[in-house]
Chain A
Amino acid sequence: MIRALYTAATGMNAQELNIDVISNNLANVNTSGYKKSRADFQDLMYQAVVEPGAPTSSSSTTSSGIQVGLGVKAAAVQKVFIQGDLQSTSNQLDVAIEGDGFFQVQLPDGTTAYSRAGAFQMDNAGRLTTSEGFVIDPGVTIPNDALAISIGQDGTISARQPGSSTLSQLGQLTAVRFPNNAGLRATGRNLYQETESSGTPTQGIFGENGYGRLSQGFLESSNVSVVGEVVNMITAQRAYEASSKGIQTADDMLSQAINLKR
């Protein structure tokens, strides 16, 4: 009886976490390059009241014993890296990755982060940065007088300058892939960092050997499906409610037991 109270409470806790994750997904429905998160749960340990196979007489044993589960715990909250829709922006510094891969971003503390948000900008020195102002690695400097900037599907950046009829190449964006994208640490600001579980990054060229290709003038919208998240929210709320009924029922039964003595 007391067990049920705590078991149901773990269920309510788990669903609270689930709602936290779903709300974050819904809040980021318009964040370009955002990848939705998913909470994974596991059952907690079992209390064996009677071990399976325990003897019930000198010649017979129980077939399945009595094992009571003690609830649920969150095993992981991981990112789901399915492709988001491409949205046309006609901005020449917007780039979307179609397929697997990340841009490399140099953080102010010297470490490297990874991003799929291709809403690039230029800083005062003409360097290509994220919308937050972090420099893209390898650095590409765009001249002040550039008339047109072209980013090819392999990440080549070229610009046309006044007095010239041809594009001159300025640099190339490096593509990065991980053995396990879902293991990346999300640090906010549309950035991810390498972890033990993501594996070490491999560098390559966009559009080759499984690396996604780039589309200039497009942004990858978030891969959150509002309908899907609302359905998840409904099921999470109902599961929360069901767990609370478990607590109520256990409480009812306890109160009945106590009221036996009048």
Chain B
Amino acid sequence: MVDFSPGPIKNTGNALDVALHQPNDFFVVQTPEGPQYTRAGNFSINAKGELTSMDGMPVLGDGGGITISGPGALINPDGSVNVDGTPVGKLRVVRFEDTSSLMPVGNSRFKTGEGAAAPPNVEAEVIPQSLEMANLSVVSTVVDLMSTNRAFDLYTRMATSIDQVNQSAISQVGRRNS
């Protein structure tokens, strides 16, 4: 299971960084395998001026891709993208009421299963010039690591004690008391 609870927001000051406000919202990225969903808002621009994810996949807006042709790009809290004050598009944000249908595919992206219904578009609520950090807590992860290690320890001990019982059974049963 993937835990979709939101991570801490870190201000970066970078104009093409955006974080999503609502926990179950996702950006839509066009990949060769179809649309995929991500909460990683560290965007960049490719040779054609299209807004892309860090690995160069186009990020979708309300009407297809978003092209940033000139300097001075700015992403507003409502997801609209301005270039020197002129609107050039609006980030498409979708909401999954049930995130259990999302499968991680790597590159900080998720996909839905075959034939799943497309998630509904929602009004974008983004935090400009910020990124969402990973949502894991080191403490609880290390505690999980320790408890898993101990559980494994317990099973190996059980296996060795059963082995000892078997060994005793083989060597002692049937031996005459002297």
Chain A contacts to B: CB under 8 angstroms? 38, 40, 42-46, 48, 52-53, 63-65, 67, 69-70, 75-76, 78, 80-82, 100, 177-183, 196-199, 202, 209-210, 238-239, 242, 245-246, 249, 252-253, 256-257, 259-260, 262
Contact = CB atoms under 8 A, between A and B. Distances in A.
B47 A202 contact: no
A42 B108 contact: yes
Interface residues of B, number: 46
Contacts, number: 121
A179 B54 contact: no
A179 B73 contact: yes
B138 interface: yes
A42 B107 contact: yes
B1 A252 contact: no
A40 B84 contact: no
A64 B3 CA distance: 12
Interface in B44-70: 44-47, 49, 54-55, 68-70
A48 B72 CA distance: 42
9 contacts: A38-B12, A45-B105, A52-B113, A67-B104, A81-B14, A196-B46, A210-B72, A242-B141, A260-B163
B142 interface: yes
Contacts of B146: 249
A76 B145 CA distance: 29
Contact of A256 (B83, B108, B153): B153
A228 B2 CA distance: 30
Contact of B70 (A69, A202, A249): A202
